[in-house]
């Protein structure tokens, strides 16, 4: 059966199957995460230890909660390519062949960009913010007692959004590839986009100018890269549209010729019957 001809119930059943596959891989990734979580928790504390930060648990279940959060984070990251592939498989019947091939190739790049966003924020931004906060506390003669829950909450708040923000080039490429975005539009709305990205940076980063710049500047660079990528994607869209229109014209001409031949055949048959 053609996937485009599925009923609503059949679409829901197809979606259920896709979600089940994702759930299976997520559970398997969680099982692997239980073995990786312990060394990863210790590794993620290294930045704090570098600045002599002692992390404390203020209740009995906090270490377990942190451990489970890390397991879920590992499972999400490891299963995200499967999630993206199943999502692509579900929506791909509604795309043209050229769009299906293009969007399928985005999956590994999307995963790599997510990892790049996490890496940038953890290895560059997070140490700077920790250093700034500790120096500020020392200047104000404030002795900090930092809970491990607060430490990891702050770490996740600072790093995970970057994994999603680094998807901007892929999102722009996708919408340019299907003709919903073009580089001229991105250039026209650049100042509004910069403002939106600056607001995102203000939400993520601490209220301090250098931190804002460390977050904002990479996002602005990503936007400019997205404009360049949009040029490539939009050119391919225009080329594919040109090919599609040419094929439609050829198909229409073929149909008209066949109709003319059929009409001529009927006229000959009618003449012979007379």
Judged by phi (left if over 0) then psi (alpha if -120 to 50, else beta), residue 206 lies in beta
Q: Which of 138, 163, 188 is the last residue of a domain?
A: 163
How many domains does one find in the chain? Answer: 2
pLDDT tens sequence across 79-121: 999 999 998 888 887 777 767 777 888 899 999 999 999 999 9
Same domain, 106 and 203: no
Say yes or no: 147 and 171 in one domain: no
Task: Assess whether 196 and 111 both reside in one domain.
Answer: no
Three-state secondary structure call for residue 178 = coil
* pLDDT tens by residue, 35-47: 999 999 999 988 7
Radius of gyration of the chain (CA): 27
Owning domain of residue 241:
167-274
Q: Are residues 172 and 145 in the same domain?
A: no
Q: Are residues 192 and 263 in the same domain?
A: yes
Whether residues 132 and 202 fall in one domain: no
Per-residue pLDDT reduced to its tens digit, 127-165? 888 888 888 888 888 888 889 999 999 899 889 999 999
Please indicate, yes or no, whether residues 257 and 186 belong to a single structural domain of this protein: yes
d(CA 68, CA 183): 43
Calculate the alpha carbon distances from 238 to 182, 187, 190, 234 in Å.
10, 19, 23, 6
Q: Which residues pair with 56 in a beta bridge?
A: 147
Question: Lowest-confidence range among 18-32, 60-74, 100-114?
Answer: 100-114
**Strand residues in 149-219 grouped as ranges (E):** none
Q: Give the C-alpha separation, 48 to 131, whole Å.
A: 9
Domain end position, chosen among 146, 163, 180: 163
CA–CA gap between residue 186 and residue 49 (Å, rounded): 43
Considering the chain, what is the average pLDDT of its residues?
Answer: 86
Summarize pLDDT for 220-260 with one digit per residue, the tens.
Answer: 999 999 999 999 989 988 888 888 788 778 787 888 787 77
pLDDT value of position 3: 52
* Residues in Cβ contact with 202 at an 8 Å cutoff, skipping those fewer than 6 apart: 212
State whether 110 and 231 are in the same domain: no
Do both 110 and 193 map to the same domain? Answer: no
With H, G, I as helix, E, B as strand and everything else as coil, classify residue 126.
helix
Cβ–Cβ under 8 Å, residues 229 and 169: yes
Considering the domain architecture, whether residues 38 and 151 belong to the same structural domain is answered as: yes
């Amino acid at each position: 059966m053609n996937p485009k001809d599925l009923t609503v119930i059949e679409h829901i059943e197809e979606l259920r199957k896709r979600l089940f596959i994702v759930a299976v891989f997520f559970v398997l990734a969680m099982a692997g995460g239980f073995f990786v979580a312990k060394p990863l928790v210790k590794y993620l504390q290294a930045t704090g230890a570098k600045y002599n930060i002692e992390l404390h648990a203020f209740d009995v279940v906090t270490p377990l909660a942190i451990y489970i959060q890390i397991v879920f984070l590992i499972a999400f990251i490891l299963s995200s390519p499967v999630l993206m592939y199943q999502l692509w498989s579900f929506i791909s019947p509604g795309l043209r062949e050229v769009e299906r091939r293009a969007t399928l190739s985005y999956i590994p790049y999307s995963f790599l960009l997510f990892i790049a966003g996490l890496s940038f924020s953890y290895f560059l931004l997070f140490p700077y913010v920790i250093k700034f906060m500790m120096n500020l506390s020392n200047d104000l003669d404030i002795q900090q007692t930092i809970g491990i829950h607060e430490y990891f909450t702050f770490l996740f708040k600072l790093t995970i959004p970057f994994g999603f923000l680094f998807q901007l080039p892929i999102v722009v490429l996708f919408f340019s590839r299907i003709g919903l975005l073009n580089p001229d539009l991105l250039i026209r709305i650049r100042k509004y986009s910069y403002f939106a990205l600056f607001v995102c940076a203000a939400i993520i980063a601490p209220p301090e100018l250098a931190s804002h710049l460390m977050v904002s500047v990479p996002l602005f660079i990503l936007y400019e890269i997205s404009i360049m990528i949009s040029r490539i994607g939009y050119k391919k869209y225009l080329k594919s549209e040109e090919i599609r229109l040419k094929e439609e014209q050829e198909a229409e001409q073929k149909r008209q010729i066949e109709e003319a031949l059929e009409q001529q055949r009927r006229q000959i048959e009618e003449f012979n019957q007379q």
